[in-house]
Each structure stands twice: as structure tokens, then as C-alpha cells.
Amino acid sequence: MKRVLSADSSELLNMTRKELKQAIKASEGRVVIAEVIGATPPLYPEVTNAELASAFGADLLLLNGCDIFHPAVYGLPDEKKIRSSRSDS
């Protein structure tokens, strides 16, 4: 069984709930989880709060208040703007 800090992203995605809990316990308290509310404005412009938490060392992100049917994350660029800027290049 791997610790969270030793696992790569594909291994984390394939873990069951029980395996993830065991991996966190095996890390002996060295796992940082950050709670992020996507429906609030970002602390720093052009960067989501989740990206900011990750940059400061969060190993896991807890998305609080995330509506999976109508997702909204402030700080993410608008998809239509991205498409139009790519076609202009």
C-alpha cells in the first residue's frame, strides 16, 4: 500500500475510498487538505482558489458547495473566450 505522498495522480484516481483512507493514515499526518469554495471570487485575480491552495502545498482539495450539474469556479477563463483567442492566433 502506498502513502499519498508516494502515489502519482493515476494511482490516486484508481484508489477506492478505503485505499485512500489507508494511504492518508500511512502518511502519518503529513497530508495537507485544503477546503475550497469554487463559487466565491478568487483571492488573487486570474487564479482559482484551488490553484492557489495547490501552489501553497495542499495535497488534497475538498470542493465545498460544488454543484456538479451547474459547475461554477471563479477564476477560470470563460471557455468561449479561450476558443476565440485560439482561433485568432
Measured CA distances, 9 to 15, 82, 84 (Å): 10, 26, 31
What distance in Å separates the CA atoms of residue 80 and residue 29, rounded to the nearest whole number? Answer: 42
Q: pTM surpassing 0.75?
A: no
**Model confidence at 89: pLDDT above 70:** no
Sorting pLDDT into bands at 50, 70 and 90, what band is 84? low
pLDDT digits (tens, 9 = 90+) for 26-56: 888 788 889 998 788 888 888 888 899 999 9
Write down the mean pLDDT value for the chain.
81
With CA atoms as reference, report the closest residue to 38 among 83, 79, 70. 70
Q: Do 21 and 3 meet the contact criterion of CB atoms below 8 Å apart?
A: no
pLDDT digits (tens, 9 = 90+) for 3-21: 887 888 888 889 999 998 8
